[in-house]
């Protein structure tokens, strides 16, 4: 119950910050529009499919989740830098309730962000003559949940270990890395070689690949990347909650 009360407060703190709307809602839509325009400029002979709306939408939905990491990170590190968290440490709240209170609202925001991104993608798809299947969009949103958990885990992890100034900086590096090696803006499979191998070591590529398979209805290819991103998400999130609990205990020493 305390976790829910704390989650409501965290949600209010996030949604009352105008930056949330810019990054969570505005940015994915703007990127969808810009990249669709970029795609228009690419000659058909180039055979680049990455910016076609059916590949772009799941990629940008995944990209949007990286900002969920930033929100988690900013909220936790901001709380840690003030006496507000001290007040709550004195209260009967348990470490698990803190973690739940930070996770629930950002999961909700992640789902809302995906809904908005796919509504925008459907509109652009209609204009460009591509029809999204509703069941594939719903499946894709479910497939994106492990990626959301992964980025929440990263946000919690860095905000727990670093201070308010350093933590968002590290998150920016993760955002850039996720874009570069996640295959959001480039076709990793067609590049091949060492870069492809490096990309596949990290979880981001698998999150994007799973989302793309889901939206295209290629269900038989979905299993492997989904399993990989799920394992990464669970490990990183559990590690983050473990570090948060340890930090909370060490703060009380």
| Residue number with CB closer to another protein (1 or 44) | 1
Beta-carbon count within 10 A of 74 CB: 21
CB-nearer residue toward another protein: 92 or 193: 92
Say how far apart CA 134 and CA 119 lie, in whole Å: 10
By CB under 8 A, the residues from 29 to 88 that bind another protein are: 82-84, 86-88
158 closest CA partner among 150, 147, 170, 148: 170
Instruction: Compute how many other C-beta atoms are within 10 angstroms of the C-beta atom of residue 111.
Output: 15
Tokens of residue 70, six digits: 């930033």
Taking the least distance from each CB to another protein, the nearer of 85 and 243 is 85
Closest separation in Å from C-beta 103 to another protein: 17
Report the nearest approach of another protein to the CB of residue 173 (Å): 27
CA distances from residue 43 to 32, 38, 56, 126 in whole angstroms, order as listed = 19, 10, 17, 21
Tell me how many residues contact another protein (CB under 8 A).
24
Element (H, E) at 12: helix 2-15
Q: How far is the CB of 207 from another protein (least distance, A)?
A: 30
| H-run or E-run covering 61 | helix 53-81
Q: How far is the CB of 66 from another protein (least distance, A)?
A: 23
CB of 162 to another protein, least distance (A): 20
The packing angle between helices 95-128 and 53-81, to 10°, is 150
Encoded one letter per residue, x for contact with another protein by CB under 8 A and - for no contact, window 212-251 reads ---------------------------------------x
| Contact present, 52 and 214 (Cβ < 8 Å) | no
Q: Which is nearer to another protein, 93 or 121 (CB)?
A: 93
Shortest reach from residue 100's CB to another protein, in Å: 13
CB 156 within 8 A of CB 72: yes
98 touching another protein, by CB under 8 A: no
Task: Considering the complex, state which of residue 4 and residue 134 has its C-beta at the smaller distance from another protein.
Answer: 4
- Contact residues for another protein, defined by CB under 8 A: 1-2, 5-6, 8-9, 12-13, 16-17, 82-84, 86-93, 251-253
């Amino acid at each position: 119950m305390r976790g829910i009360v704390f989650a409501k407060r965290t949600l209010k703190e996030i949604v009352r910050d105008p930056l949330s709307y810019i990054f969570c809602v505005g940015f994915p839509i703007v990127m969808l529009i810009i990249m669709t325009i970029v795609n228009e400029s690419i000659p058909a002979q180039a055979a680049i499919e990455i910016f076609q709306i059916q590949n772009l939408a799941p990629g940008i939905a995944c990209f949007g989740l990286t900002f969920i990491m930033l929100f988690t990170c900013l909220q936790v590190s901001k709380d840690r830098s003030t006496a507000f968290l001290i007040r709550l440490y004195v209260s009967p709240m348990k470490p698990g309730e803190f973690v739940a209170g930070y996770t629930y609202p950002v999961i909700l925001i992640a789902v809302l962000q995906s809904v908005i991104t796919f509504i925008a993608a459907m509109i652009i798809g209609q204009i460009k003559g591509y029809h999204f299947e509703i069941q594939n969009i719903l499946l894709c949103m479910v497939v994106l949940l492990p990626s959301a958990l992964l980025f929440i885990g990263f946000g919690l992890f860095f905000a727990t270990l670093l201070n308010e100034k350093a933590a968002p900086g590290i998150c920016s590096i993760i955002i850039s890395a996720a874009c570069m090696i996640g295959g959001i803006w480039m076709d990793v499979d067609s590049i091949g070689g060492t870069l492809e191998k490096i990309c596949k070591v990290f979880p981001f590529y698998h999150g994007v690949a799973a989302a793309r398979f889901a939206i295209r209805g290629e269900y038989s290819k979905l299993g492997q990347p989904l399993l990989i991103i799920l394992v990464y998400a669970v490990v990183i999130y559990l590690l983050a909650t473990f570090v948060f609990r340890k930090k909370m205990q060490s703060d009380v020493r």
